[in-house]
Structure 1
Amino acid sequence: MVHQYKMGGMNIVIDVYSGAVHVVDDIVYDVIENYKKMSKEDLINNLSSKYDKQAILESIDEVNELVDKELLFTDDTYKEAILEFKKRQPVVKALCLHIAHDCNLSCKYCFAGEGEYHGDRSLMSSEIGKKSIDFLLENSGNRRNLEVDFFGGEPLMNFEVVKDIVRYGRSKEKEYNKNFRFTITTNGILLDDEIMDFINENMYNVVLSIDGRKEVNDRMRCSKNGKGSYDIILPKFIKMAESRNQENYYVRGTYTHYNLDFAKDVLHFADLGFKQTSIEPVVAPADMPYALQEEDIPYLCEQYDILAEEMIKRKEENKDFNFFHFMIDLSQGPCVIKRLSGCGSGTEYLAVTPWGDLFPCHQFVGIDEFKLGTVDEGITNTAVRNTFKECCVYSKEKCQNCWAKFYCSGGCTANAYQFHGNIYDTYEIGCELERKRVECAIYIKAKEMLK
């Protein structure tokens, strides 16, 4: 499978199954486009009105050489391997601890219902947190590096328990030969110097929730009395980023139908000095006024183009920054198995509620049919776990002919369930935007490599 596109005056060709990326001239681009459709003679006749015959012949030879080297039109040799890999007994490597099913903001697009997750407001106890750590230790097999994300609601509303869990995890590392990587996601309202110091000392990463420009953020991320959060959190987030030397954090926003020009929000963060940024498309039912619509897609794709060109320009000016969805490693990156099997929700990655119930990920919390078990009993609903275990790009019909499947791993199972009631489906708007982001990411990398 091959994908071709033009961007910024470059002709880019991606060979899906080898992972090779080629930047080619116009003749080779046109030869590749017709290579599988036409004989050599037909190729020459078809292209002779545009190019010299000798140049066409040389281009065909170049393409033949790439095919012989298995860098173009390579076969899919991964299907059987990934299906066999999926039969393994899974080990848990990461937990999302719902420290607080409560929040001090009332964000309009919140999938968690202001932190309640279809249930009562509740805070996790130290006891449940420690049992969660024990569950992870006992179910992580030989994996040494384990990840624990403190999530909510707003986890800083229960920060003393966060500290207890971190200390407990650290006390177990040597005994079990494990290394915990703790992370936390916060809206910043309660962030202060003492909390910052603890986070910097103990957290591998920190996610700082803010949507962008003041008017954009305050429209969606406001308190229960309608007051915006921007002026409160921005100085704290700037200080937090600087205190971490602009590494191991990111400011994370959500763009909606209200700010389709989201590239301005990304660049707003860059102008404020933030070096690590992620702004994600909202996922919401189509009847919500802030939901993205199919007719928004062309404009959103233009925004990604604008952002890619601006990032290239700023890097040349030594004003570079990272945008999460454009970060791609063409030389190594995740292994093929990881690329094809996805995020590991329901198997390697689980969410824990404040009372100790286990769910496939934070977006499934509160949907009873997806409850997997408890931290006391372990995973008892093996049927649901097996459903997630078998989910990969080869079990999703819509992924079969998609050139980007090695980059998105089949997309988000929660989004698929939300829109189609089936984790083996896909969220179409998300797919369109992901393909565009991958094109931009590869374009940026190609520009860098050619220089």
Structure 2
Amino acid sequence: MGSLAFIPHNAHRVDVDGRAMLMHVPTTSLFEMDEVSRSVLDLFRRVGVADADLLRAELGHRFAPEDLTQCLQGLVTLDILRDAGQPDRPLSIQKVEDVPLSTIILNVNTGCNLACTYCYKEDLTTPAKGERMDFATARSAIELLLAQAAGRDKVNVVFFGGEPLSNMPLIRQVVDYTETRVAELGKAVDFSLTTNATLLTEEIVDWLDAHRVGVTVSMDGPRALHDRNRRTVGGRGTYDVVATKVRMLLSRYSARPVGARVTLTAGVTDVIAIHDHLKNDLGFAEVGFGPATSGPIAVFNLKGDMLKGVFEDMKTLGRRYVEAAIRGESIGFSNMHQLLSDIAQGMKKAVPCGAGLGLLAVDKGGDLHLCHRFVGSNQPTYGNVTTGIDVPKLAAFVEGAQDRSSFGCKTCRIRSICAGGCYHESYARQGDPFAPVYHYCELLRDWVDFGIESYVRILAANPSFFRHHLEPRRATQ
């Protein structure tokens, strides 16, 4: 054996209740280390490079030669150890030759009846000035989706806005048309939308239920917190009407679990109180939090200690999640669901999300955007529903997104989970969709470590939790 070098950015150790867990960074796979592997890695962390003589001198008196050899071979296979003379392996860029869509997002109306102070939508306007998508455009978008998803058994159609329910006639037309088309093709379809809930009626709720349209409600917690930012165009708080509509929705709609989506901003950061109100008082199945850090009005963005405090509160809620999971219960904390799902599946991402690969968004004129967040922005579009996807242009973006080594992502321990972070957040904050979300990179690393600890504890105490709670959730998404 020649000299072996330690590749520290491919291995991350997390100790959990006396168990030494090794995350293989390139694949996010988790391994529990035995005494041999712990000792070998401790040695390499200390010296960096070791040959057979050093290994025998340091560890030969403690472990059998065959055990050391087997351990070294395993670490070499994982590229945690590498021949000291071997150069660094070049980044492998996955070429994009086609766009096998699974999801299309229809921006059905730029108008919204609310004027939420932190809204990121650059094309947002009042209801009277809203520009609605027409059925011809929507139909072409569905046909594009079905053509690009020829090899898929299921497609997803998402209605977005503005407030999507302000163009309910189009939503009905699209659902009817798509249900007919997928039946002809032997496929399945999943519909979903995010709404501020103010336009819900019993008739609309019953229709959504009958067609199994997934519903997420944007709501920011109890009245005092919700009404700080989520107001009408005239400036009135909307908590009372939203809470009333939500109770009606939850009493009539049973097709799928209904989740709440919370935007955390300066002054709206009480994660525990918000979760408890939305989950326990109003009855949402899940509550998910999105910290605002790059909105158009800086005063609402979370910075420094505020952002750190939010992550600490999310970990506090996460500990409650773990305690409940060990009892076989779920407290409906979406961020923990997603984190644990990524860890349980050994999530390996070359890009941060499916934008531009499995997913595209359509504006009122039929132009194709990376995702709904970019609709109305000055970022490039990638074709049109009538002319098709500009595959070379989109491929250049996605292939470029895979290499963020110039930003330092190459050696980050969560690079296969984060992959640089949200394109739109980077664009909105730094003007570059490829720039990492540096403002909370360290907080995200700590959040992933917390997820690993939580996963190991649940797995040790109640492994059936994942089968009973995470797998059914993925099936309904």
- TM-score, normalised via structure 2 length: 0.79
Task: Choose which of 137, 145, 148 in structure 1 pairs with 2:154.
Answer: 145
Task: Choose which of 250, 267, 275 in structure 1 pairs with 2:285.
Answer: 275
For the structure 1 residues 359 and 62, does the alpha-carbon distance in structure 2 shift closer, same or farther, using more than 3 Å as the test? same
Instruction: Mark the runs of 5 or more structure 2 residues left unpaired by the alignment.
Output: 1-9, 83-88, 462-477
Secondary structure of the structure 2 residue equivalent to 1:322: coil
Amino acid at match of 1:252: R
1:446 CA drift (Å): 1.0
**Match of residue 447 from structure 2:** 437
Matches within 5 A, 1:164-179: 164-179=173-188
Question: Is 1:425 aligned to 2:440, yes or no?
Answer: no
Q: What does the per-residue CA deviation read over 1:291-314, in whole Å, with 9 as the maximum and x for residues that have no partner? A: 111333432332122111111233
Matches within 5 A, 1:304-323: 304-316=314-326, 320-323=330-333
For the structure 1 residues 76 and 125, does the alpha-carbon distance in structure 2 shift closer, same or farther, using more than 3 Å as the test? farther
The answer on whether the counterparts of 1:18 and 1:72 sit within 8 Å (CA) in structure 2 is no
What is the alpha-carbon distance in structure 1 between the residues aligned to residue 35 and residue 244 of structure 2?
50
Matches within 5 A, 1:10-89: 12-22=21-31, 32=41, 35-38=44-47, 57=62, 68-70=73-75, 74-75=79-80, 83=93, 85-89=94-98
1:75 CA drift (Å): 4.7
**Match of residue 196 from structure 1:** 205
Question: Is 1:329 aligned to 2:341, yes or no?
Answer: yes
Amino acid at match of 1:342: P
Amino acid at match of 2:173: D
My pick for the range that moved more, 149-158 or 203-212, is 203-212
Q: What does the per-residue CA deviation read over 1:325-371, in whole Å, with 9 as the maximum and x for residues that have no partner? A: 222236863764xx223323234311111222222211221234412
The answer on whether the counterparts of 2:103 and 2:156 sit within 8 Å (CA) in structure 1 is yes
Secondary structure of the structure 2 residue equivalent to 1:400: helix
1:58 CA drift (Å): 6.5
For the structure 1 residues 113 and 441, does the alpha-carbon distance in structure 2 shift closer, same or farther, using more than 3 Å as the test? same
Q: What does the per-residue CA deviation read over 1:256-294, in whole Å, with 9 as the maximum and x for residues that have no partner? A: 121333233223323223332211111325971111113
What is the alpha-carbon distance in structure 2 between the residues aligned to residue 31 and residue 218 of structure 1?
56
1:141 CA drift (Å): 3.3
- TM-score, normalised via structure 1 length: 0.83
**Match of residue 137 from structure 2:** 128
Matches within 5 A, 1:37-436: 37-38=46-47, 57=62, 68-70=73-75, 74-75=79-80, 83=93, 85-113=94-122, 115-116=124-125, 121-241=130-250, 243=252, 247-272=256-281, 273-284=283-294, 288-316=298-326, 320-327=330-337, 328-329=340-341, 333=345, 336=348, 339-380=349-390, 382=391, 384-397=393-406, 398-436=408-446
1:415 CA drift (Å): 1.5
1:154 CA drift (Å): 0.4
For the structure 1 residues 26 and 246, does the alpha-carbon distance in structure 2 shift closer, same or farther, using more than 3 Å as the test? farther
Secondary structure of the structure 2 residue equivalent to 1:283: coil
1:414 CA drift (Å): 1.3
Amino acid at match of 2:30: V
What is the alpha-carbon distance in structure 2 between the residues aligned to residue 9 and residue 223 of structure 1?
53
My pick for the range that moved more, 318-327 or 154-163, is 318-327
Secondary structure of the structure 2 residue equivalent to 1:227: coil
Misfit runs of 4+, over 6 Å: 7-10, 24-31, 40-46, 58-64
1:9 CA drift (Å): 7.7
Secondary structure of the structure 1 residue equivalent to 2:109: strand
Secondary structure of the structure 2 residue equivalent to 1:21: strand
Give aligned-pair identity as a percent. 23
Amino acid at match of 2:97: R
The answer on whether the counterparts of 2:16 and 2:453 sit within 8 Å (CA) in structure 1 is yes
Amino acid at match of 1:255: L
1:243 CA drift (Å): 4.8
What is the alpha-carbon distance in structure 2 between the residues aligned to residue 415 and residue 204 of structure 1?
28
For the structure 1 residues 133 and 15, does the alpha-carbon distance in structure 2 shift closer, same or farther, using more than 3 Å as the test? same
Amino acid at match of 1:123: R
For the structure 1 residues 282 and 9, does the alpha-carbon distance in structure 2 shift closer, same or farther, using more than 3 Å as the test? farther
1:374 CA drift (Å): 2.0
For the structure 1 residues 400 and 331, does the alpha-carbon distance in structure 2 shift closer, same or farther, using more than 3 Å as the test? closer
My pick for the range that moved more, 304-313 or 289-298, is 289-298
For the structure 1 residues 387 and 217, does the alpha-carbon distance in structure 2 shift closer, same or farther, using more than 3 Å as the test? farther
Higher relative CO (Cα under 8 Å, sequence separation at least 6) belongs to 2
What is the alpha-carbon distance in structure 1 between the residues aligned to residue 454 and residue 22 of structure 2?
14
For the structure 1 residues 66 and 332, does the alpha-carbon distance in structure 2 shift closer, same or farther, using more than 3 Å as the test? farther
What is the alpha-carbon distance in structure 1 between the residues aligned to residue 328 and residue 356 of structure 2?
42
Aligned residues: 438
Secondary structure of the structure 2 residue equivalent to 1:444: helix
1:114 CA drift (Å): 7.6
The answer on whether the counterparts of 1:252 and 1:279 sit within 8 Å (CA) in structure 2 is yes
